[in-house]
Amino acid sequence: MKTRLFINVLKLSFIAFGILMLSNVFSAIAAIFAQAYINAGEITHTVTPYKNISLKTILDKNNIALNDDDIISHDINKLIKPLQTVKIIYVTKEQKKIIENIPFIMTQRREYNSNLRKVEFQTGIEKSIIRTVNEIFYNGVLHDKNTIDERAVEKECCRLVLFNKNGTIEKIYDLSKAKKIKMTATAYYPGDPLAWKDGTVTFLGQKMQRGIVAVDPKIIPLKTRLFISGYGYGYAGDTGSLIKGKRIDLGVNNAREEKPWMFKDIIVYILEKSDTY
């Protein structure tokens, strides 16, 4: 009798345990089916929809903020249902200026071949296209872009092109960006009786020749590349006792070439310091 009673109690216990387990399983399933999902960018939020509570309220409770440009797949003023997935696309906008430089358009040029090395003085037009562009990103990824403004800017400019011995371009100087000085010129030539050591050797120990010029180092440092209006390319490689302040002594070939430069006002463009001309 006691054995049968024990068996019956044991059966009832198993049945109760089974009912409890099933109840937990059904509760878990019910909880899952009572949930909804908000896919916000790369993060998925699990939320519980309630009757008479709008999506906006649920977003606020879960600290999910929206900006005016963001895109959401559901009306935030309406309810959401269990198992429903709401997608949010975060939209950001950036405005950029893009500058496209058009290759230099040459209008005139003049070659100088007699001063130390071949150079070419060029005048022309520099043109740039300036675009203002709006870029639109969806969840941090570029989605679209559009041009909201475009304008062309042109300016006349001068430049000096230096060539190597083999005739290829070594360097281009934008003269509009170079420092320029108004100076008074004189000239001297190899063998000039007024020049230091008859003008055959410069202060730097170089051979005197056309293109070497004497300067006041306080105004133009020695070993400076120059471009001189009407004269051409020059290299500051010499000094002189009378060459002080804004004076420059231009190296020429002979006494005949010297005369036209005597006390002539010229513009000197400072290009750069260089150990070689």
Place of tokens 């009306």: 75
Residue 119 to residue 208: CA distance in whole angstroms: 19
- Spell out, as residue ranges, where the chain has pLDDT lower than 50: 22, 25-32
Q: Are 72 and 87 in contact (CB under 8 A)?
A: yes
Domain ranges of the chain: 2-90, 93-172, 178-273
Q: Are 133 and 148 in contact (CB under 8 A)?
A: yes
pLDDT at 9: 52
Residue 240 to residue 242: CA distance in whole angstroms: 5
Among candidates 150, 182, 28, 172, which has minimal Cα distance to 104?
Answer: 172
pLDDT at 27: 44
Model confidence, pTM: 0.65
Q: Are 216 and 181 in contact (CB under 8 A)?
A: no
Edge-to-edge strands, sheet with 91-112: 91-112, 119-138, 141-163, 169-174
Among candidates 122, 150, 133, 43, which has minimal Cα distance to 93?
Answer: 133
Q: Are 121 and 227 in contact (CB under 8 A)?
A: yes
Q: Are 224 and 218 in contact (CB under 8 A)?
A: no
pLDDT at 200: 86
- Distance, CA of 51 to chain centre: 55
Summarize pLDDT for 76-105 with one digit per residue, the tens.
999 999 999 999 999 999 999 999 999 999
pLDDT at 11: 58
Residue type, 3: T
CATH number for 178-273 (one of 2.30.40.10, 3.40.50.920, 3.40.50.300, 2.40.40.10): it is 2.40.40.10
pLDDT at 97: 95
pLDDT at 7: 59
CATH 3.10.20 fits 2-90, yes or no: yes
pLDDT at 25: 44
2-90 and 178-273, same CATH topology: no
Residue 135 to residue 148: CA distance in whole angstroms: 10
CB atoms within 10 A of CB 39: 14
